[in-house]
Structure formats: C-alpha cells, structure tokens
Structure 1
Amino acid sequence: MKKLTTSFLAAVLFITSPAMAQTAGKISGQVADNNNKPLQSVTVSLLQPKDSSLVKAAVSGNDGAFEFTTKKAAGYIISYAMVGYETKYSDSFYVKEGDTYIVKNVQMVAATNKLQGVTVIAKKPMIEIKADKTVFNVEASINATGSNALELLQKSPGMQVDNNDNISMKGKSGVKVYVDGKMMQLDTKDLAAYLKSINSDDVEAIEMISNPSAKYDASGNAGIVNIRLKKNKKFGTNGSTNLGFTQGVTPKGNGSVALNYRDKKINLFSNVGANIGEYRNTLRLFRIQKDTAYNQQSINTNDNKNINIKAGADYFIDNKNTIGFLATTNFGNNEWSSNTNTPIFYNPTGKFVKNLKAVNIVPGNRTNANFNVNYRYADTSGTEINFDADYGLFRGRSHSYQPNYYYGDNDNLIYSVINRNSTPTDINIYTAKVDVEQKLGKGKLGYGAKTSFVTTKNAFDFFVDNSEGTPVKILDRSNQFKYTENVNAAYGNYQRQLNAKWSIQTGLRMEQTNSEGDLTREDGVIQADNTVKKSYIDFFPSAAVTWNLHKNHTLNLTYSRRIDRPTYQDLNPFENKLDELTYEKGNAFLRPQYTDNVELTHTFMGIINTTVGYSHVKDYATQVTDTTNNATYVQQQNLATQNIININIGSSLPINKWWSGYANIWYNYQMFDGAIGTKALKVNIPGYGAYLQQSFILGKDYTAEMSGWFSGPSVWAATWKTKPQGGVDVGLQKLFWKKKATVKVSATDIFHTSPWKATSDFGGLRINAGGSWESQTVRVNFTYRFGSNQIKSSRDRKTGLDSESKRIK
C-alpha cells in the first residue's frame, strides 16, 4: 500500500510541477443560451489551433463563467460542448505569458433546431467525478461487455463484492442498491440473483453516492448505488439489438432488444432482455470445532434463465405538465445445486471418523415487478413538483431436496438422512410520495413526504424422509411468518450559493416506523419471539459546505445520519438446514443499525479527488458464524459498535488525446467493539485497495481498454479475515457500418487472481475457507443501433419504491 500511494502521489507531482514553475496567465469568459441566460455545466475545452489537441478542460459555473490558467505564451482556440446544444468554437487567439485574456461571450443554440438528418455521437468518459457522486458510464467501457450488473459493481471504483455476494463501498457494508431510482428490497441471495439477470447491454451507468441528502430515504449506512438502465433519449423512432456470448467453465448467452419512439408530445420506450447459462463456483471449508475437524469441499452450480421487460410512456401535456407510466418486470427460473464431500476426523489424533456426502438440489423461480405512475410540473421560475404512486411485488418459490449420506472406512454406507423443504415468499409494497423544489431567496428549497406499506408472507415447511422414503413434515421446524411495516416520512432540504467561493446545503428527514412480525409454528408452540411489535421515530440530519478556496482547489464537507432496517426475510426466525452440520436461521429481535458519516473532500484542478471520512455505527448488524453442539450456523445479529476511518483518492488520467484513464486507491481502518452472545468481540483491522482503468484510441474506429482492481487483506462480518485478491481485464472494440454497429471482445481475470481466501478464529471455532467462481472468461458482444440519432435528453424519473424494494432478499 505504501508503494502504491507513493507512486500515485509522485505521478501527481510530476504532472503538476511544470505548471508551478512558470508565470501563470488567465483566460476567462462566459457561456449563455440563445435567450442570453447563463448556461451551467457546459464543457469548455482549451485547444491547440494546429491540431485541436486538448490543452485543458473546464466546466462553466452557475453564472456560465469559466476560467483557465496558461503555462506559457501560446495560441489557442476554445470549444463549447453540451448535450442538446450545437458545439461552438471560438476564433483563434494568442495569450502572452502572465497576461489575462477575456474571451468574447458565446451563445449556444439548441441542437434540435439544426440537426435533422445529422448523426451526433457524444462520448462520455468511463468514470465521472462529480460533487455528490462518482459515475461509472458502463456504455463507455469495453471490459463491461457481457458482464451482469453484480459483476459491474465489482468493477466499479471503491466497490467490493465478497464471496457471499455482500456489497460494500469503500470498505463499508450496508450499501443500498437502487435500479432506476427504486430501492431493491431483496435479501442478499435474491438481490444477487436479480442483479445477475441484468445484462451490461441494458445498463447506462452506475452512480455511487456515499453521503445522500435528506431528499433520499435514510436507508443505507454506506450510501447509495443507483443502476441506471438505458432509456430513450432521441426524437423519432430508434432502437438497438444486442447479442452476447461468454465462455467460462461453461458457455452462456444473453441478448436484448430496445425500441423507442419520441416526439414533442409523447415518449414511448421499451426493452426486453434475456440471459441463459450455468454458473459454477467452488467452496473449501476446513473447520475445527471442539475435538472434531471437518474438511468440506463443495462444487455449486446455478442454472439461470432470466427475462427482463421494461416498458413506459411519458405524455407531455404542455411545457409545464407531464404524466408518465413505467413498468419493469423480471422473471427468473433457476436451479441451484450443490455437491459436497466432508471427511470428518478426530482432531487430536487425526483419526478418520466418517465421511458425509451431501447433495442439495433447489429448483425455484422468482418474479419481481414494479409499476409506477408519475406526474411532473415544472415552470420557468424554478418550481418543480413530482408525484409518484407505486406498487411492487416479489414472488419466490423454491423446493429443496437435500440427502445426506454417511460412509465409514471402507466407503460403506452407515446411515442417511434425507431433508426436504418448501419456502414460498410473497411480498407486496405500496408507496406514494411527493417532492417539491422551488426558489427561496437566493437558494433552492426542497421538501416532500412519503408513505409506504409493506406486507410479507413467508412459509417454511420442513420434511425428513422416513425409512420407506416418504417425506414426513417436522412440525416443530415448520412455520408461517407474516410481517407488516408502515413507514411515514417527511423532509426539508435547502441549498444556496452564498458567493463565488461558498455554498451550503442542509436538510432534515423524519421517518416514523411501525412494524409487526407474527410467527405461527406448525406444532402450536408459542415462544417469546412469536410476535414482535415495534414503533419508533427517527430524525436524520444532513449538511454540506463547499468552499472554492482557489481556482485549482475546492473543499467539500458533508455529514449525514443513516439507518439500515433488517431485510424482511432476516426477521423470520426459522431454521433452514443446509446440510446435517450447517444451517441458517433468522432473528426476529434484529434491531436497525444507525450510522453517522462525515467526509471531507479536496478537489485539485478538477482532476484529483481526495476524501477523508469517518463513520460511527451503532448496533452494527452482520451475518455471524457461531456453533451449537457439533453444528455450525449463521445468523444476522447486532453484535458491536463499528468505527471506520477511510481515505479515498480518485483521479482521471488524461495522458494525451489517444490515451486516457482513471485511477482510484482507498484505505480504511475498521474498529469493532461488542459481543457475540456471551463471547467478547474486539477487532481492529486495516483494509486497502486500488482500481485502474486505461483507454486507448487506436484509429480506424478501433479502441482498446485495460482495467484492474485489487483488494488487500481486510475483515468481513467482524470475525473473518480475508486475503488479498484482484483481477485484470482487457478488451478491444471495433465500430463499423457507419458507426451503427459495435463488436466488443474482452477477457476477464486473465491472471486468475480473483479466487478468495479467508480465516476465522472466534469462540472456539476455527475456520480456513476459500473458493472461486467463473471469473476467468472470454466474452464477445455485438450491438446494432437503428433509427433516428437526433439527441434529446430524456426526463429524469425517480419512483417511490426506492427504499422498500431493496430489503427483499
């Protein structure tokens, strides 16, 4: 880590030191639209006149102003670019060393006035660093080809996905995943299955927001990840088709078709995507419990068939009022299976005791659907009103067949135990919300309210085959679990630019929660956790201060308080037997965890972002591994107070006009103080990692990309110490057929360094674990775009299911 940090800082000093050695000049100006109103966020590029190569880039501010510093006397031209407007160029001019040059004010014209029949291709950088978030533009990445959404998160800066598909950001767990502004309320297993069903061809960008404002739901102690799916952005009729093939251990395929129509009154958009294939992973688990050693080796397969459908319509009543409808559905049919071999030994002498051979076959299907109705009002005074009504549903059905066979010395069968279970899950989510933004004084006031109502029904029917092979229901291990939850929220948020150097944002969100969980056991036994009711009110403040202390230096200080409520399935206190020696169970008394986050970010020259942060987590909840008798189980528990200190440095790397990239390094130090049951837990451990991406323009419509990630030793679930891992991907892209078609070829994890290893030694249980998945693949993707290419920005749609749908597992 020390070498990596030193090299990165040395590179920064190398890039910036020549500019500091000369007398700086200034170039300034202002950009407006054709009504002479200042235009914000225009990309202003300082170019060399002889070949239009880039010298420096800037973005216009709230007043349309921009400014460059120059290193030496030279001639320049300036380009002005913004989506929806024609690109403009200044006349060439000459600036002497140390002089100030004021460029003539420029007015930009909307592109739709003059672009009929003209193809405009706007290329986004792969990574964008913004004041409130980092954006991974998936469309701009070659190595993203053929990936699913979960794999894309692994490739995103500062993101990690562990061997159990738990997602963390900058070393912090509790990330809330949104898809098109809707929070996916799924547990880890079902969320991973859903994200794996989304193809990279259907993803436009991934937004990572570490400190959301009061406008967002308070869920998510590590922040928010929003996966933006592609939608219509053009006038006329247009669409695209994608076909992909992946070869890992087994072949896999995916494809999608998008068709859109838009004019001045209506916008219709649709997308259908599907994937099919078998995914394999391995698990090695050596554990010592009391006087017995278990050496478990498993091969797991997941045979997936998924279809995603998205359709929507917007009707523009007039220039102020819009109504819209959006429906997204996912149908998944899969069969998960596991083949496990576990030799068992008497640990003091190493003497063989017996061998457990277990098979688990779990066919199942999942349906996830969301329906949204939206009304939007916006006028020229800056007032905007959005109203959303949503209904979401999740239906899951699975049946497990899990025989366990015990063999002796001569591989003779001693006895067998055959388990079966059925686990249907029904979840319904109803939400309504309103958001208002309007000018107040010299700033902008935002306020709104939301209500949500959730009902879940889970059944767990457990069977054991008798001596005749007939399944017999075990009543004391079968149950029905019903959970209802109502959350009512209101918020206010105010932001203002105080002057040219200072801006502020502050907000407060109130959330009132009422919940009840009812467990009905088939044997009629009533226990303390059969019915659990909760009602509480929480307040979640947020604030941000930005200080432009110099044209090359900006400081941004943010604070927010967040909550993580338990997923609906984690509250169900049933025991789900994985095999005779391992099982998982829910926890009806699981409490929400609360997090206070504070971050200070320094931006240098608009290129390098350095963030220092601190988080304090109360009632930290995670999946705990513990023992009872000769069995091991996992359960979500509130086990500790967690404190995290983190440092993150990210920078775009514009090396020259044909070579660019992005680099990110991070470090955190986690401190846990608590207990698992009666066993004290006090763990302090550092973690670090890096992400690097390089893009190359090769000419003749060829581009190439190389990217890699690395995570150093860290801690997972407080008791697991993980080993280093990482991966390197390479890719090549070719445009043809007048740039309407694209072929991408990529290879992932070319050095096969992604497999994981971890150890745990806590409470008398020692575990040495490891595993791998199909990280090493070759992928080929073909895309063809047809129809109108006139660029027209689509309206931003945020639905009301953002917080609730993510808590479904």
Structure 2
Amino acid sequence: MRQFYLLLLVVWSQCAVYAQETATTLTGKVVTETLPMEFVNIVLLDWETKKIVTGAVTDADGTFSFAIAPGTYAVKASFLGYQNYESAAIKVESGKSHIIPLINLKQDGKLLNEVVVEATAKKPLIQLQSDKIVMNVENSVLSEGNTALELLEKAPGVMVDNDGNISLRGKQGVTIMINDKKTYLSQQQLTNLLKGTSSSSISAVEVITNPSAKYDAAGNAGVINIKLKKNARNGFNGSVNANYGRGRKNRFGSGLNLNYKTGKYNFYGSYDQYYRGESETFTFDRNFYTDATRQTLEKFSNQYSVTDEPLKTNNFKAGLEYDLSENTFVGFKVSGDIGSYTNNSMSENKVRSADTSLLSDALTNNHNHSKWNSMSYNGSFLHKFDSAKQEISADVDYTHSRFRDNALLATQFNPTPVQQAYESTRRGMTPSSTSIFVAKADYVYRVKEKLSFEAGWKSMALSPDAGCVGT
C-alpha cells in the first residue's frame, strides 16, 4: 500500500511540474492610432515553420489572449481595409505571462474608404449579434472580384491555409453551411465549390463560434453559414453579372439571376459559371547530413516544379415559394453543381553527392483529373406565431452526388554513374457516389433579445459508395 501511495505522489508531482512548465499566457491589444479595434483576426504562428498554432478575435477593447506552451512564435493581425501586421520573433518562457507591445494597424487607403462608403449606405460591414458575427457582403466592395473562399479569409476569426483548409479561431473541423444547410462534401470538393462560387451571389457570411444544437455542428470548432442572395421584389426582375481577372492565368465568370413574384407566389432561378486558371512554380533545395550535428554534408538535391491547375464550375438553382398565410410559408427548391479540376505538374529533381557527383536525375509528370456533379432537392415549411417570438420550421432534403478522380504518375529516371535508367508508372482511379436524406424540425421561442429556447428533431440516412482502382 505504501508503494501505491508513493506511486500516486510521484505521478501527481510530475503532472504538477509539467503543468507549471506549460502554463503560459500571451496577451496583446490592437488599435488604430489610439482607438481599440474589435473583430481583428489574430493568428499565432510557429516561428520556424510559419504554421498556424491557434487563432483569436479581438474583443470590444481590442485585446486578445492565448494560453500556449513555451516556444518561439509570431503574431499576425489582419482586418479588412488595413495593412496586415506580423510581429518579430516572440520567445515565450515557461510559467510567465507575456504582453505583446501595442499593435497599431495602418489604414490601407482607398480600400478602407470604399468599404466604409459601401457598408454605411446599407448595413455595417461587420455586425455583432447575440449568437454570431455577420459580415454583410451585399452592396459592399467585397461583392465583386472575390470567390467565396477569398471572402472567408476576410471574415472575423476565420483562417484559410494554402491548401484551402478552413479553421475558426485556430480550431480545425469547422462546419460549413450554405443557406442554413450543412454541406456534406469532402475537403477537396468543398474547396473547389467555394473557389467556384462568386462573391456577387453572396449576401452575408455568418460566423458562429458557439453554435446551438440546431446547427448540428460536428466537434466544437464552430459554424460558418454562407447566405446567398434572395430577390423578393414584385413582378419580373433579374440581373446579369460578369467578372474577369488575371494573375499568372486568366480567371473569369458570369451569372444570371431571375425572379418573378406575383401575389402569394415567388418563382426564382439562377445560373453561375466560373473558370479559374492557376499556375504555381516551386524550387526546393535540400541538404542531407551524415548525422544530427549537421557538420558533414552527405548529399544535396535541387528540385524544380511547375503546375497548371484549371478549375471549371457550374452552379444552378430553381425554386418556388408560396405564402399559405401572412405567417406561414412553404417552398421547394432544386439545385445542382457540376465541375472539374485538373492538376498537371512537371517536376525535375537532381541529387548530388557532397563532391557534386550526380547520384539521381528524375523527371516526373503528374496528371490528376477530377470531375463531379451533385443534385439537391429541398422542401421547406415555416410558421411564425402572431407574437413573432415563436416559430416552427421543417425541412426535407435529398442530395445525390458523384465524384471521380483519375491519376497518372510517370517518372523517368535518367542514367547516372550509380543508377541505371528506368521508368516508373502508376495509375489510379477513385469513383464515388453518395446519397443523403435529411429531415428535421425546429422550434424557437425568443424569451428576450439575448435569451431564447430552442428544440428540434432530426433524422438522416446516408448511403455512400466508394471504390479505388490502382496499377
């Protein structure tokens, strides 16, 4: 028994020491001139790798705080209309609280003026509501020339890495919704969809860091709800949009929105197409040493890669809404998404010994082609009680999507003094299809402005079918 108590004491002591070594707080404040700035995106980066460690959003006083392990970090601050800020290396020691020097963001001239003029004419660009932060895109400078993914990069607390992975306040596993409906897509499919959706079709972006049960959020990272535009004017009306841009490649898109409202009926439909050309060039230089001290060079490699990545998307929807009464509404909608993405890359890699003798000379061509199509059907019901404090809603959704990926990897190894010439070829095909049926009902009672009671029911059936063929 003494040995048992002694073991517990040792374990407790080790845990206490560990907690003491890792308990560290890093705080800071963001201002513009002397005024505190709210909703500023703060990202904590690992100093060496520049990878995101965590994130935060400043409060009404412009302050933010991180609880982190000892290490060396950098802090990055960004806000629409202001120049980005990135700190020098910040060394965080164990068991000490660290305060970052005051961060003073500078205005970005013309862009800030455009944002203020556009936003104040209709709605403020950023709105803080009881359960979410809303970025009003419609009628702002953000409504043109951006994709949905680029909009998310500007939303408070949202971070998007180079691969299109989305995090909220530094947490992965964010639930993405479009018009209050969850998108049952893989990471690659979701990234392609957001890249192919024009900002001109988006009304607002809602950031919900503490979602209620009705949002059905997986994990605790939060919810991002993208609200698409809806036309409710009487009579027949519509709009046409087109955009063009160029970086290394051309990017262009166009869209059509039509709406006809008469009496209790509202008919609507839209179509958007988008093409994004993209090319990237990489150069990698690597050194390999004989041991961990990195004193003696064994060999080194020089790699050059270039990619061509065209993306094509087509999105459409059509629907009918009918007012059963002043407070009761029903609707039906069908929507679809058809697209393709190709990644063609060429890579040359030479490996040499420390005396520059050629050890390996490889030329690799990689061709990856993905295409998909998805159809969704929705029936909805909404009733608002006379007091306007209570409402009940119901939705039935069915979605069927198909995805197919073909890959070819061919490598030609040229002869060297230590290696004979040979070829390596790999092929792969990944077909998949998914059918999803979801039915749900929700009840909301708003007790007062910042207090509400919610209850709901949901049922879902999922039928996935995936395969993989490789040679």
2:458 aligns to what?
450
Secondary structure, aligned partner of 2:191: helix
- 1:155 & 1:413 partners in 2: Cα distance? 52
- Equivalent residue runs for 1:714-793 within 5 Å: none
Structure with higher strand content: 1
Contact 1:298–1:338, Cα closer than 8 Å, also in 2: yes
Instruction: Please say if residues 337 and 359 of structure 1, whose CA atoms lie closer than 8 Å, have aligned partners that are also in contact.
Output: yes
Q: How many residues align?
A: 353
TM-score (normalised: structure 1): 0.41
What is the aligned counterpart of 2:426 among 419, 423, 430? 419
Measured in 2, the distance between the counterparts of 1:254 and 1:339 equals 28
DSSP-derived class of the 1:406 partner: strand
Instruction: Determine the structure 2 residue equivalent to 1:11.
Output: 34
**2:147 counterpart of 1:148:** yes
Partner SS, residue 398 of structure 2: strand
- Report the Cα distance in structure 2 between the residues aligned to 1:163 and 1:410, rounded to whole angstroms: 39
CA distance in 1, matches of 2:129, 2:401: 34
* Inter-partner Cα distance in structure 2 for 1:13 and 1:247: 37
Give yes or no for the alignment of 1:387 onto 2:387: no
Cα distance in 2, alignment partners of residues 414 and 312 from structure 1:
61
SS of residue paired to 1:154: helix
Q: Deviations over 1:150-197 (max 9, x none)?
A: 121122232221122111122222222111112222222221111111
- CA shift, 1:412, in A, is 9.9
Cα distance, 1:437 vs. partner? 2.3
Amino acid at match of 2:173: G
Instruction: Give the match for residue 807 of structure 1.
Output: none
Per-residue CA deviations over 1:706-731 (Å, capped at 9, x if unaligned) read xxxxxxxxxxxxxxxxxxxxxxxxxx
The residue aligned with 1:188 is 187
Structure with the higher fraction of residues in helix conformation: 2
Query: Which residue number in structure 1 is paired with residue 359 of structure 2?
Result: 353
Segment of structure 1 superposing worse, 291-300 or 418-427: 291-300
Task: Check the 8 A contact 2:142/2:199 in 1, yes or no.
Answer: no
State the Cα RMSD in Å: 2.9
Give the letter for the 1:359 counterpart.
N
Kept in 1, the 8 Å contact 2:376–2:400? The answer is yes
Distance 2:427 2:459 in 1: 39
Counterpart residue number, 1:223? 222
Name the structure 1 match of 2:442.
435
2:350 matched to 1:308? Answer: no
Which ranges in structure 2 are unaligned for 5 or more consecutive residues? 1-26, 38-119, 291-298
Which amino acid letter does the alignment assign opposite residue 352 of structure 1? L
Cα separation, 1, equivalents of 2:406 and 2:122: 47
Match for 2:402: what amino acid?
Answer: R
Give the Cα separation in 1 of the matches to 2:400 and 2:363.
Answer: 38
Q: Is the 8 A contact 2:306 2:345 kept in 1?
A: yes
CA shift in 2, pair 1:431/1:143, >3 Å: closer
Note the C-alpha offset of 1:310.
1.5
> How many angstroms does 1:361 deviate by?
1.1
Amino acid at match of 1:383: Q
- CA-to-aligned-CA distance 1:27-59 (integer Å, 9 cap, x gap): xxxxxxxxxxxxxxxxxxxxxxxxxxxxxxxxx
Supply the distance in 1 between the matched residues of 2:318 and 2:373 (Cα, whole angstroms): 16
Q: Supply the distance in 1 between the matched residues of 2:209 and 2:362 (Cα, whole angstroms).
A: 45
Equivalent in the alignment of 2:47: none
Say if 1:126 and 1:140, in contact at 8 Å, map to a contact too: no
Q: Aligned partners of 1:265, 1:259: CA distance in 2, in Å? A: 17
* 1:400–1:421 CA contact under 8 A, matched in 2: yes
Contact 1:300–1:338 (8 Å) recurs in 2: yes
Q: Secondary structure at the match of 1:365?
A: strand
Q: 1:228 to 1:440 in 2, by over 3 A?
A: closer
Mapped to 1, the partners of 2:303 and 2:184 lie a distance apart of 32
* Residue type of the alignment partner of 1:367: N
Cα deviation for residue 220 of structure 1 reads 4.2
Q: What are the superposed Cα offsets for residues 426-484 of structure 1, whole Å, 9 maximum, x if unpaired?
A: 11111110111247799743211101111211111111xxxxxxxxxxxxxxxxxxxxx
| C-alpha deviation, 1:240, in angstroms | 0.9
1:362 is matched with 368
Q: Distance in 2 between matches of 1:432 and 1:196?
A: 29
Unaligned runs of 5+ in 1: 15-120, 464-809
Pairwise CA distance, 1:408: 3.4
- Secondary structure class of the residue paired with 1:139: coil
Partner of 2:170: 171
Q: Deviations over 1:615-668 (max 9, x none)?
A: xxxxxxxxxxxxxxxxxxxxxxxxxxxxxxxxxxxxxxxxxxxxxxxxxxxxxx
Determine helix, strand or coil for the equivalent of 2:215. coil
1:409 CA drift (Å): 4.1
Which amino acid in 1 is paired with 2:455? Y
Residue 274 of structure 1 pairs with residue 273 of structure 2:
yes
Q: Partner of 2:141: helix, strand, or coil? A: coil
Give the direction of change, closer, same or farther, for the CA distance of 1:290–1:374 in structure 2 (3 Å limit): farther
Query: Within 5 Å, which residues of 2 pair with 1:235-634?
Result: 235-285=234-284, 294-346=301-353, 351-381=357-387, 382-409=389-416, 414-438=421-445, 444-463=452-471
